Chain A
Amino acid sequence: MKMKPNLRLPVVGAALATLTLAACEPPPVDTVQRGYRGVGMELVINPDERARSVAENMPPDIIPQIADDDGPRAGDIYQNVQVLGDLSVGQFTRVMASITEWVSPEAGCAYCHEGNNFASEAPYTKRVSRVMFAMTQRANEDWGSKHVAPTGVTCYTCHRGQPVPEYVWAEDPGGPHAKGLARAEQNIAGKATVAYASLPYDPLTPFLSQDYDIRVASDTALPNGNRTSIKQTEWTYGLMMHFSDSLNANCTYCHNSRAWSDWEQSSPARLKAWHAIRMVREMNNAYIDSTADWLPDSRKGALGDPLKVNCKTCHQGAYKPMYGAQMIDQFPSLSKKTGVAVDMHKQGG
Chain B
Amino acid sequence: MTGAITGYIDVAQLALYAFWLFFLLLVLYLHREGKREGYPLLTDAHRNVRVVGFPDLPDTKEYLMPHGQDSVMAPRQDPAEYEMAASPLDGTFGSAYHPTGDPMRDGVGPGAWAIRPQVPDMTIDGQPKIVPMRVATDFAVNEKDPDPRGKAVYGLDGEKAGEVVDLWVDRAEPQVRYLEVACSGFHAPVADTEGYEGTAEAGPRRVLLPITLARVSGKDGTVRVRSIKAEHFANVPTLANPDQITLQEEDQVCAYYGGGTLYATAERTEPLI
Cβ of B48 within 8 Å of any chain A Cβ, yes or no, is no
Q: In the docked arrangement, what's the CA distance between A295 and B84, Å?
A: 99
- Count, A-B residue pairs, CB within 8 A: 13
* A221 nearest CB across to chain B (Å): 8
* B-contacting residues, A209-244, CB 8 Å: 220-224
Q: In the docked arrangement, what's the CA distance between A223 and B1, Å?
A: 6
Instruction: Given contact pairs A222-B4, A222-B10, A223-B1, enumerate 10 new A-B contacts (beta carbons under 8 Å).
Output: A2-B219, A220-B1, A221-B10, A222-B1, A222-B2, A222-B3, A223-B2, A223-B3, A224-B1, A224-B2
* A149 nearest CB across to chain B (Å): 42
Q: Which residue of A lies closest to B219 (CB)?
A: A2
Which residues of the partner chain A approach B10 to less than 8 Å between Cβ atoms? 221-222
Which residues of the partner chain B approach A223 to less than 8 Å between Cβ atoms? 1-3
Interface size class on chain A is under 10
List 13 interface pairs A-B (beta carbons < 8 Å), by A numbering.
Answer: A2-B219, A220-B1, A221-B10, A222-B1, A222-B2, A222-B3, A222-B4, A222-B10, A223-B1, A223-B2, A223-B3, A224-B1, A224-B2
By secondary structure, the A interface counts as loop
Q: In the docked arrangement, what's the CA distance between A2 and B3, Å?
A: 69
Which residues of the partner chain A approach B3 to less than 8 Å between Cβ atoms? 222-223
Q: Which residue of B lies closest to A222 (CB)?
A: B1
Which residues of the partner chain A approach B2 to less than 8 Å between Cβ atoms? 222-224
* B-contacting residues, A252-303, CB 8 Å: none
Which residues of the partner chain B approach A221 to less than 8 Å between Cβ atoms? 10
Q: In the docked arrangement, what's the CA distance between A225 and B74, Å?
A: 57
Q: In the docked arrangement, what's the CA distance between A72 and B47, Å?
A: 114
Q: Mark B146-188, 1 if CB is under 8 A from A, else 0.
A: 0000000000000000000000000000000000000000000
Interface size class on chain B is under 10
* A-contacting residues, B206-243, CB 8 Å: 219
Residue numbers of A with Cβ under 8 A of B are 2, 220-224
* B100 nearest CB across to chain A (Å): 50
Q: Which residue of A lies closest to B146 (CB)?
A: A2
Q: Mark B1-23, 1 if CB is under 8 A from A, else 0.
A: 11110000010000000000000
Which residues of the partner chain B approach A2 to less than 8 Å between Cβ atoms? 219
Which residues of the partner chain A approach B4 to less than 8 Å between Cβ atoms? 222
Q: In the docked arrangement, what's the CA distance between A157 and B3, Å?
A: 51
* A-contacting residues, B1-52, CB 8 Å: 1-4, 10
Which residues of the partner chain A approach B219 to less than 8 Å between Cβ atoms? 2
* A137 nearest CB across to chain B (Å): 49
Which residues of the partner chain B approach A222 to less than 8 Å between Cβ atoms? 1-4, 10
Q: In the docked arrangement, what's the CA distance between A84 and B227, Å?
A: 94
Q: In the docked arrangement, what's the CA distance between A111 and B158, Å?
A: 90
Which residues of the partner chain A approach B1 to less than 8 Å between Cβ atoms? 220, 222-224
Q: In the docked arrangement, what's the CA distance between A28 and B127, Å?
A: 64
Closest 10 CB pairs of A and B: A223-B2, A222-B1, A224-B1, A222-B3, A222-B4, A222-B10, A222-B2, A223-B3, A220-B1, A223-B1
Which residues of the partner chain B approach A224 to less than 8 Å between Cβ atoms? 1-2
Q: Which residue of B lies closest to A220 (CB)?
A: B1
* A7 nearest CB across to chain B (Å): 15
* B108 nearest CB across to chain A (Å): 43
Q: In the docked arrangement, what's the CA distance between A224 and B219, Å?
A: 72
* B2 nearest CB across to chain A (Å): 4
Q: In the docked arrangement, what's the CA distance between A224 and B1, Å?
A: 5
* B147 nearest CB across to chain A (Å): 14
Q: Which residue of A lies closest to B218 (CB)?
A: A2
Q: In the docked arrangement, what's the CA distance between A223 and B2, Å?
A: 5
Q: In the docked arrangement, what's the CA distance between A260 and B163, Å?
A: 71
Q: In the docked arrangement, what's the CA distance between A223 and B10, Å?
A: 11
* B184 nearest CB across to chain A (Å): 30
Q: In the docked arrangement, what's the CA distance between A222 and B4, Å?
A: 7
Q: In the docked arrangement, what's the CA distance between A221 and B10, Å?
A: 10
Q: Which residue of A lies closest to B11 (CB)?
A: A222
* A-contacting residues, B191-219, CB 8 Å: 219
Q: In the docked arrangement, what's the CA distance between A190 and B4, Å?
A: 44
Q: In the docked arrangement, what's the CA distance between A223 and B3, Å?
A: 7
Which residues of the partner chain B approach A220 to less than 8 Å between Cβ atoms? 1
Q: In the docked arrangement, what's the CA distance between A160 and B10, Å?
A: 57
Q: In the docked arrangement, what's the CA distance between A220 and B10, Å?
A: 13
Q: Which residue of A lies closest to B4 (CB)?
A: A222
Q: Which residue of B lies closest to A6 (CB)?
A: B218
* B17 nearest CB across to chain A (Å): 17
Q: In the docked arrangement, what's the CA distance between A2 and B144, Å?
A: 10
Q: In the docked arrangement, what's the CA distance between A348 and B196, Å?
A: 105
Q: In the docked arrangement, what's the CA distance between A2 and B146, Å?
A: 11
Q: In the docked arrangement, what's the CA distance between A2 and B221, Å?
A: 13
Q: In the docked arrangement, what's the CA distance between A221 and B219, Å?
A: 66
Q: In the docked arrangement, what's the CA distance between A222 and B12, Å?
A: 9
Q: In the docked arrangement, what's the CA distance between A224 and B2, Å?
A: 6
